[in-house]
């Protein structure tokens, strides 16, 4: 998102507000488009009598590798998809809106890692659904907000903890028909990526840099003091 290079959190200028709106619209579009694709796939299955479940993840099977790409797009029934729709919509929007550094990279890595680890260590069954991504996004947003001490991220982290606190129990093998491995590895992937991609401090706009730039003498004085400290 090129707009991010011109965005400075906390600024109330007209230009910054316009960028804020563009980022919000972009984040909403991404999340709605993703959910729309999932519903379109399920409706296609229902309308034409297809069954795409064979494209899910089958652990340690070469044909099952394709499930790393396709399993999050496939759901067992409309109830399964409906249960994933709202959390996926909210968490995807939150990732792109609140975490404004490398959101595409984070999403793709959660998407791939959660599926890859299920393929490596999951039960000998077909695993389908976007639950792994949901757990990955929830874990990433929560830990990223804590590590970065970012007000926006901390707020969404609190919302995630309050609304989706029940997700915690999904990482345990409580119900055999549910792919708890996807939940577990999705959460682990999200936590690991939050630690790896810590949100850096916001960049200061050029206007502010020029206003706060010290005089030439001050720069020389600081450099001299730095040299004395090194010695």
In this structure, is residue 218 part of a structural domain?
no
| Residue 158 pLDDT greater than 80, yes or no | no
3-class secondary-structure state, position 80: helix
pLDDT-derived band at 19 (thresholds 50, 70, 90) equals confident
Does residue 44 sit within a domain? yes
Which uninterrupted H or E stretch holds 195?
helix 180-196
- Does 229 reside within a domain? no
165-175 pLDDT, tens digit each: 667 777 878 77
pLDDT at 12: 57
| CATH number for 43 | 1.20.1540.10
Q: How many domains does the chain have?
A: 1
Phi, psi of 51 (to 5 degrees): -135, 105
Residue-range definition of the domain harbouring residue 47: 2-199
Residue 221 resides in a domain = no
Q: Is residue 135 part of a domain?
A: yes
Please, what is the average pLDDT of the chain?
81
Q: Is residue 130 part of a domain?
A: yes
Which one, of 149, 157, 139, lies nearest residue 193 by Cα? 139
Residue closest to 186 by CA, chosen among 120, 112, 88: 112
pLDDT of residue 7 exceeding 50, the answer is no
Q: Is 96 exposed, middle or buried (0-12, 13-18, 19+ CB in 10 A)?
A: buried
79 part of a folded domain: yes
pTM of the model: 0.78
- Residue 217: inside a domain: no
> Mean of the pLDDT values across residues 7-32?
78
């Amino acid at each position: 998102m090129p707009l991010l290079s011109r965005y400075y959190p906390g600024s109330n200028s007209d230009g910054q507000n316009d960028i804020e709106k563009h980022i919000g619209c972009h984040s909403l579009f991404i999340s709605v488009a993703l959910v729309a694709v999932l519903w379109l796939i399920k409706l296609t299955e229902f309308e034409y009598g297809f069954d795409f479940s064979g494209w899910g993840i089958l652990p340690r099977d070469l044909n099952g590798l394709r499930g790393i790409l396709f399993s999050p797009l496939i759901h067992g029934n409309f109830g399964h998809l409906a249960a994933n729709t709202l959390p996926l919509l909210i968490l995807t929007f939150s990732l792109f809106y609140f975490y404004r550094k490398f959101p595409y990279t984070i999403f793709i890595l959660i998407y791939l890692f959660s599926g890859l680890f299920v393929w490596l260590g999951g039960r000998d069954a077909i695993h389908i659904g976007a639950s792994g991504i949901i757990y990955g996004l929830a874990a990433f947003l929560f830990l990223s907000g804590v590590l970065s001490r970012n007000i926006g991220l901390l707020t969404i982290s609190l919302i995630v903890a309050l609304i989706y606190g029940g997700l915690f129990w999904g990482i345990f093998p409580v119900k055999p028909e549910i792919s708890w491995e996807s939940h577990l590895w999705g959460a682990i992937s999200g936590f690991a990526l939050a630690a790896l991609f810590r949100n850096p401090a916001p960049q200061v706009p050029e206007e502010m840099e020029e206003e706060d730039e010290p005089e030439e003498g001050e720069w020389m004085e600081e450099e001299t003091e730095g040299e004395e400290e090194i010695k």
